[in-house]
Every structure is written in C-alpha cells, then in structure tokens.
Chains A and B, each alone.
Chain A
Amino acid sequence: MALQDKYAELLQTATTLGVANLASSEQNGVLHISGTAKSTADYDALWALYDKIDPNMASGDLMMNIDIKADAGAQLKVTTESTNLNIRSTPSTEGEIVGKAAHDEVVTLVEKTDDSWWKIRTADGEEGYAFAQYLSPL
C-alpha cells in the first residue's frame, strides 16, 4: 500500500473535488486510479498534483485514468498546441478529413465514440470525429 501513501494527497483531493466513480487499486507496482472529474479545471488540478508528487511523472507508478464529465451537447474547446484540429469521416486517422476546427474554437459534443475519438459538430455545422485528446469540456 506504499503507493496509496505516496499519492494519498491526490486521492484525497480527488475525493474532495467530487470525482465520480472514484476507484483505485494497486497492481504490479502501479497505482491505478479511475473516475470522472466534474470539470476541466478539476482534471488539470489533479494532473498538476500528480506532477508535484512525482516530479515529471517519471516513476511510471501511477495510471491516472480520469476523464472529464461531458454529456452530448456539451461545449468543448479545441486545445491543440496551435494548429487546426482535423474532423474526420470515421473515428480513425484513416478517416477522410471532412472539416477543421481552429485552435481555441468551441465545438459541440455529439457523442463520446470511444476513449480516443469523439464525434463533434462545429458552429458551421461540420460534423465528424476528432481526437479527444485535443478537446476539453468547458
């Protein structure tokens, strides 16, 4: 249970922030944590805490599989580094590019297709799949 102690502050904060379905379990020297944060701000706070407890998150002893609550119709901000986000016809990089969303543009969530691809719609009505990593619920 040493890892539970190492990341006690993180687990405590997750509880305080009301992370839904919070679960944690240690396996083969890795602490697995899962749950759904209420907001992007909460999510960022937890990740900042992880980086503080384990500098550069280099130990490889925490799997923080926390997502952010977002239902269909939620507003998402495009959080690419600076480039446009491709919108594709299918949930894969093989999919044809059917549109683009600009950096910092706000789009609407249609459905969470899977872990990595979400179906979105832009204000211009372009609809398709985008890489979820670059979408942050507002």
Chain B
Amino acid sequence: MRHVKDIADLERARREIMKGRDPDARVVAICCGTGCIACGGLTVADAFRSEVDSRALASKVRVLTTGCHGFCERGPLVVVQPAGILYQQVKPDDVAEIVETSVEGDDLVERLLYVDSASGEKIVREEDVPFYKHQTRLILGRNGALDPTSVEDYVAIGGYGSLAKALDAMTPDEIVATVKASGLRGRGGGGFSTGRKWESCLKAPGDVRYLICNADEGDPGAYMDRSILEGNPHSVLEGMVIGAFALGVTDGYIYVREEYPLAVANFTRALDDARAAGLLGVNILGTGFSFDVAVARGGGAFVCGESTALMASIEGLPGEPRPKHIHTVERGLRQRPTVLNNVETWANVPLIVDKGAEWFAAIGTEGSKGTKIFSLVGKVNNTGLVEVPMGITLREIIDDIGGGIRGGHSFKAVQTGGPSGGCISEDLLDLPVDFDRLAEAGSMMGSGGMIVMDDRNCMVDIAKYFVGFLKDESCGKCTPCREGLRQMHAILTDITEGRGEERHLDELEYISWGLEQTALCQLGSTAQNPVLTTLRYFRDEYRAHIEEKRCPAGVCKALVTYSVVADACTGCTVCAKKCPSDAIEGEPKKVHGIVQDKCIKCGICYEVCKFDAIAID
C-alpha cells in the first residue's frame, strides 16, 4: 500500500484500493487459521490458485487466504462470496468442482454443504449455519473478509478509520473517557475496567509511559487471541495506536507466545506494512504523533501471562512475579507507568472509537459490556471459536451454537477460565455468562476457554490435571504455591490411584485456603479453583474414588478394568491387532477376551472397537 500523507489522504487511499477491485467479483475465501492448516487448508488454497490460473480466471476471481473463521471442527472451510456459500471439510480434489459449479457457475456442490444435525437439512449460506447464526461476530466476523498479510484489505473494510477519527476529532482525554464510558473490561481474565486502568496510568507520575499488548495466551484450551492476531493483526495494532495516542506513549510492546509462530509472523508483517503506509512509526498520518511497537516472543512459561512476570520477561529476565503493592500502571516495565491489555481488549478499542461508547454499552449485561470470544472445545459437536454478547447463557452456547454433546453421551460439566477457573455443573447451565456471575459460581471468565466435558471425563482427574499443570508452571518464588500445589497434586494422585482416604478432602480444602490467602500472584491464589469447584459440584465422584475405590467415568487407570462384552463382540480382531501389549486373545469371528495380567489399560481397544464391545468397569 502507498504511503498515506495525512488524515484526509487515508480515505483517498481507501477509494483507490476499492477502485481497483470489482465489487461483483467472485471471492473464494479459504480459512488458513492454524486449525484449518492442520486439516490441509494450505494445500486447498494452492489448489484453488492453480485451478483459477488454469481456467484463466485470475482477473475475475480473487483467491483469499484468510485467518480463522471460527468453525474449526469442520475445516478446511471455504466461503464463496458474494453469495456467502459455505463449503466445509474441503479436500484438494473438490476444488475443480467448486470452481466450475459455484465460482464460474451459480450452482452448489451439495455434498460439501453443512448438514444441520438436528433437522438433517443442508444449509447453503455461512450466516445461516446454527454455529454462526447465534453469534454476534463483531471482532471475529472480519477475519473471513480479509487477508491478514494485506494492509489494503484492512483499509478497504474501513480499517484505521477509527485511528483517523481519534487523531482528527478527539482529544486524548476524550478517548479515555469514551473507553471508560463504554464499560469495556479486560478480556484477559481479570476483567478490570480498561478505562479506569488508562486513567490511573495517566495520573501516575513520570513522562515516559509504556503500553503492552498481552498475547501470552497461556490458558490451555483458549485460542481466541491467536486467531485474532493471525487473522486480523491490524485490528489489534490499530487499537494499540489509538491507546498510545490517548496515553501519550511512544513505545509499545507485544508479548507473544513462542508456540504461536504464525501469529508472530503475521503481526510482524502488519507492523512493517503499517510503518510503510504511515500508520505507525514516526509522524503517524502526518499528525506529528509517533509511536512504534516491538515484538517480544515469550519463552513458554505460563506465569508470563501475569503482568509483572510478563514485564520482567520483556526486560530479558526470568518471568517471576513481584508483589504488587504498587500497581504496574504506576510502576511497570522498567519501573515506568505501563498499561497492559490483552489482544481481544485492544481489538475492541477501534470499534468503540468508531461507533461510540453508547453503542458498545448497549451490548451485554449491566456489569459486562460488549461481546466475548470463547473457545468452545471438548466434547461438543461443533467446536471452534464463538463470539457472543455478554449475558448469553451457557446452555445457549453449548446447545444452540455447539450443537450439544457429541456421540450420544451426556453433559457433565463445563470448565471455564483456564487453570484458574472452575468446573460448572449441569444445574448451573442457565447461568448468564458475564464476569460477575461466573465468579459467583466459583469459576471465572478468564481469557475465555470453555471446555465441555461429558460422562466419560473424570472430575477428579480433571482437578489433578489442572493442579499438575500449575505445579509445573509455578515459578517457585513463593512457598505456598510451590509446595502447596505439590502437596495437592500428591493427594489427588493418591485419590486417583486408589489410595484415597477420608481426611484427604479436608486437607485439599485446607491447602486451598492457604493458597488463596498467601500466594504471591494470581497463579497461586486462584490455583485452588478447579479443586474447590469440583469438590463443590462433584463431591460424589471424589467419594466414589475414596470410599468405593471406583472411578465412575472409567478414566483413572488404577481403578478400572477393561473387559469384552461377549454379546456385542463380533470377533472382528481389530482390538487384538491394535493392542500394544498383546493382552487380547481370540480367534476371528469368535468372542475375544482380555488377559488382565497383560493389560496396561491404554484404552486403545475401547477406542477402536466399532461395536461397543469393550466395557470399562
């Protein structure tokens, strides 16, 4: 894109881009988010390019590789615009047919359409698919409309218009007031008012301030920040530049997990393009305002999502938190006032500046405004990223958008808020999802992971999983976290391995209390949530492990045995072939049997049996 001289020139530049594009041209948008790439999205995209070339359609058809559309379950996803036809699970072999039928022609490739599992109907348009229909996709919706490596694409849909408006028509104080009035709360987990954070930073003494985008999305089971960074990096950058202008900052940082190489690549590209276009760097849009952003890659430490640890890590030090008697808005990076906001929070800022605080505040509930992106994963039919207004119920998300539990199993729990969150049981499914209501239920919003579990998930095992995770990720600086988690993990291991005792439950609650009261940072002081919520809602499962030495979900190896259901076994021999320890014996077409002495309880026979002939007791 050419260099933009001043604010008025931005609109001219946008018109120039639009003039070069045929509004009626067919666009084939192929999702190349990490999920779809894993399913072969890139080869599908290549197939489309060569198909379009070989049919000499390059001038009439645009092949667009976009970021994540959200419906990762059905990837690779292809959307043909302007009709908005959604093809799912597309293979390279399907490409020629799609180009011939829907790009050159106006027909449909019926077999690639999404079939609604409830009604059995084929659905043509992306927006009519139940997964998308119940969402409000303010942020994610734009992912499907642009190539993340193209600043032109972002400008074409009105991108950087909010920045122009902020620089041209608003004072820094007005921007802060607008963000405050919108009710935007931090999307990274804490849910602190973004406007108030900015205000406190402005009031803190000192001329030099810093601004950071927290893209260290460490919560396992959450990947919305990754998808925004990969799919629409300029939206985050625009938010940061607006924030920098409001706060009088000249140096910004983005701290990205090293597990997200594509996000690093796309954001770095966005920085270069924006600098070249005059939207970042020295003298932005000719206004004399200067601001630049540096990328810092993380080192794979969960605790670096914590503000003080993150800042230590940017300074090249080990990511160990410090006590926060003095907040980072007063003394953060290099002891200077620092504003740290999460990716999704920054991506919301341009929307608020563009459409106004009232518009934003009209979405959501009284205490939680706007939309929130959740990663709906686990045992639901439609996994993926969903963006919904605050206040929607868990049941709507899981049943209407997620399409219910997969494989005919029954719902048991939903885990929200990552390792610091909690597990919520079925009787709370009508809970409206907002910051405060989730906290009341003992969980938290967190960064938006939503992991659905069914009757085959053991809640003691899940509690052990989270405690084990945090035990490994504890930086070891403070004793309650380092030692408390180790003891809790030992107790939970005892319970899952059949050595549970009555006193263990009290001990877990006692250590939890100690952690909450005394740990140095949020990693430790919220680490008890998964244990306390599972104890609160699923105490019966703990009791079954302790008193009856039984794992009701059939997960805890020491407490289960595998056996063949004689009536169901057809003697197909699949299990015997797959068994890694040769523990299954039997002749073809006769009922098989498991030799318990040899069985290592790996569960492969259960997974591979097509006749439900393996029982777990």
- The answer to whether A and B interact is no
Interface residues of B (CB under 8 A from A): none
Chain A interface (Cβ < 8 Å from any Cβ of B):
none
